Amino acid sequence: MNENVRNMNVTVLSDNWYTLNKVDFEYLNKDNEWEKQSREAYDRGNGAVVLLYNNLQKTIILTRQFRMPTYLNKNNDGMMIEACAGLLDENDPTTAILKEIEEETGYKVDKATKIFESYMSPGSVTEILHFFIAEYSKKQKVSEGGGAADETENIEVLEYQFEEAINLMKTGAIKDAKTIMLLQYAQINLVDLGK
């Protein structure tokens, strides 16, 4: 634990959807003085995200869905183009992402390779996101996807040529951080995809 943090007091502000905590604590600053601080932290659990790609076709699978927080912050229609993702719930990251792939995209893939993990918004959200890549082929399509019916998901499955997706990122049509990170990873590491 961090020796520069003491006297933590956590108060639950909301547990309606996920948990919003207020944390009061003391932090030992660079002047060697204890200062009182207060922060809010949103705990929604950890998640996983995957870039599905097909090297032969030079394509990737993404999704589009309505995201209320973006709608509240000047995204005119609230729609976001994203890589397939979801919460871990009680699963390990690999099991969770394979489940999400089938639920959201309709593809049943056997293997996903973890490439890294990241805190996505460390100033306010506790979540660690596990990043994966996975190859897909047409023969692995087992349903239309669209998300789990009991989770009120209305997900549209999109297939793009890889270069088209890169252009959507460059023009700002793709603004989702996790998706941008995966596309840039693919540009650097999956060189056959862009050729």
What is the tens place of the pLDDT at every residue in 145-178? 888 777 677 899 999 999 999 999 999 999 999 9
Give 100's pLDDT tier (boundaries 50, 70, 90).
very high
pLDDT in tens, 11-30: 999 999 899 999 999 999 99
Residue 127 pLDDT exceeds 80: yes
Predicted local distance difference test score (pLDDT) of residue 153: 75
Q: Which of 113, 1, 6, 2 has the alpha carbon at shortest distance from 49?
A: 113
Is the separation of the CB atoms in 124 and 132 below 8 Å?
no
In the numeric block, which tokens belong to residue 66? 């309505």
Measured CA to CA, the distance from residue 46 to residue 122 in angstroms comes to 13
pTM: 0.93
What's the pLDDT score for residue 148? 73
For each of the domains in the chain, give its residue range(s) and CATH number, in order of start.
5-43 (no CATH), 47-194 (3.90.79.10)
pLDDT at 193 over 90: no
Predicted pLDDT of residue 195: 66
